[in-house]
Structure 1
Amino acid sequence: MPWEETHQARRERLLRQMDGNPRVAYMLQHGPVPHWVKVARQHREQKAREAAAAQTKPKPTLPRGRHRAPRSWWRWPATALGASLLHGLHVLDTVAPAALNHHIGILN
């Protein structure tokens, strides 16, 4: 290259171009920023972007309906009705066996 700039000359040229920048003023006053500060800033910015994206997206809703097979509604009422009828027939058979046997054809 016909014109090569030294590191110090390039640094001074860039600092003159960035005159008035608060970050450059801070660096000149306190020294260069450590790497962990840059990494922490990147993490904060990433979390802020993720939080902003999460607020704009609607939350997924659960599908409507049941998550398991529906129970059959007729089993318990049919069982209760059948049990009460059998109990009634048993009571009739024990309380008045001779009086009602001739009226009901299923009892012998």
Structure 2
Amino acid sequence: MPWEETHQARQERLLRQMHGNPRVAYMLQHGPVPHWVKVARQHREQKAREARQAATEARTELTETEPQPTARTRGRHRAPRRWWGWPAVALGTVLLLGQTAMETPGASLAPDIGIPI
């Protein structure tokens, strides 16, 4: 590097570049962040990492121990699948009633017309 910049000079240069940044304004007004804030952030990040790792382990353990269903299960938020049995029962009933209703006149008309029933 052609010139060596001191820490103070570097800090002043960076502050000039970040003029108007609300975080920089807060730091200049209240001073630098205390050490306990950095430690608390590290603890939060560590707990988050441990929680993610535990969730990943539980997920892999679950996939190893229980077989996954082959078909996709329907979610509870969806409407239940429509049962097609009622329309089939209704159609069959109408056809049976129609056949029964036509047997009486058909028995008397069939010998005359020649339509087998």
Q: TM-score range by the shorter chain?
A: 0.3 to 0.5
Larger Rg: 1
